[in-house]
A = this chain, B = another copy of it.
Amino acid sequence: MRDAERVVAELRARGELWEVAPGVTGLRGDALALQRAITHALATLDAGEGAEEWCVPPALALDTLARAEYFASFPQWLTVAAHLSEDAGELERVARSACPAEAARTAAAPASAALPPAVCYHVYAALADSTIPRCRVVGVQGTCWRHEGARLRPLARGWAFTMREVVCAGADADVAAFRDRGAVRALAFARSLGLRARLEAATDPFYAPTARGRALLQRVKGLKQELLLGVGAEELAASSFNLHERFFGDAFAIQLASGGAAATACVAHGVERWTLAVLAAHGCDRRGWPPIFTSLTREVAA
């Protein structure tokens, strides 16, 4: 089995992967056909849950993240979107600069939105301050941004990456059962692709100065499970299955018709990590891929 570095080197040599900033990559050729097939398969994996599909905006209000206590939990990851200053003098300084790319780096106005660190925040924000008559299941997908500095690696840990999520809001027991079904399905799917895969209890990398203790609670209560896929000698968390109890239901005032805040859970798949795991296991040449990909890529092309 290839490790992540060898897969990336092979893809670069084939002209199928390029990087425009650390952890910001493009794909083409066979690797892209594979990723589209995986994206399609992951998007239909949870079809039995009857999710409504939403096309979420590519940015989040900073206030939404504040309501979700994101700044206390993971500020180290956050990436914001800011347009250049509207000041005419400042714009002209950039436009006339001999090094405009460098000048532009520090010419932004204060940020007016966040680039989403996860797509499920859109769902809590859109359901905020409402009563849900029954269990609500929503499917979302989009580009997520988490800046992990020197740890960024193409496909394995992108600054920008593609996340597919299914979010469930409802009564505690329904939400817990949804989460467990998601984990079982993802594990079975990984094995059907011939991947080395296992589920493990996990915690989020909470920001220590302000969220100390949350990881411990998460582990004690079994709130987070990850699907680990083998990539060479390492294992990468390619999907996670998360119970939030009533955290988001309270924070966003999402009420059950029967009274009380809704519980929520989400099943999240990291598309590029799935692609990487398949390439590591089966190689970069499509002729080596298991037969299941022949039908998957055909389905997407149709």
Binding site for B on A (CB under 8 A): 18-21, 24-29, 32, 35-36, 52-66, 71-72, 75-84, 86, 91-92, 94-97, 99-106, 108, 110-115, 122, 125-126, 143, 145, 147, 149, 159-160, 207, 209-210, 302
Q: Is the CB–CB distance between A61 and B111 below 8 Å?
A: no
CB-based nearest B residue for A106: B110
Contact across chains for A28 and B52 when beta carbons are under 8 A apart = yes
A27 to B36, CA, bound (A): 22
Chain B residues within 8 Å of A160, by CB: 57-59
What copy number does this chain have within its complex? 2
Given contacts A21-B57, A26-B55, A81-B81, 7 further A-B contacts (CB under 8 A): A20-B57, A20-B59, A20-B122, A26-B122, A66-B99, A79-B84, A83-B147
Select A94's contact among B25, B53, B75, B106, beta carbons within 8 Å.
Answer: B75
Residue of B nearest to A114 (CB): B104
Collect the chain B residues with CB atoms within 8 Å of residue A102's CB. 62
Contact A61 B91 (CB under 8 A): no
Alpha-carbon distance between A46 and B99 when the two chains are bound, in angstroms: 37
Q: Tell me whether B91 and A84 are in contact (CB under 8 A).
A: no
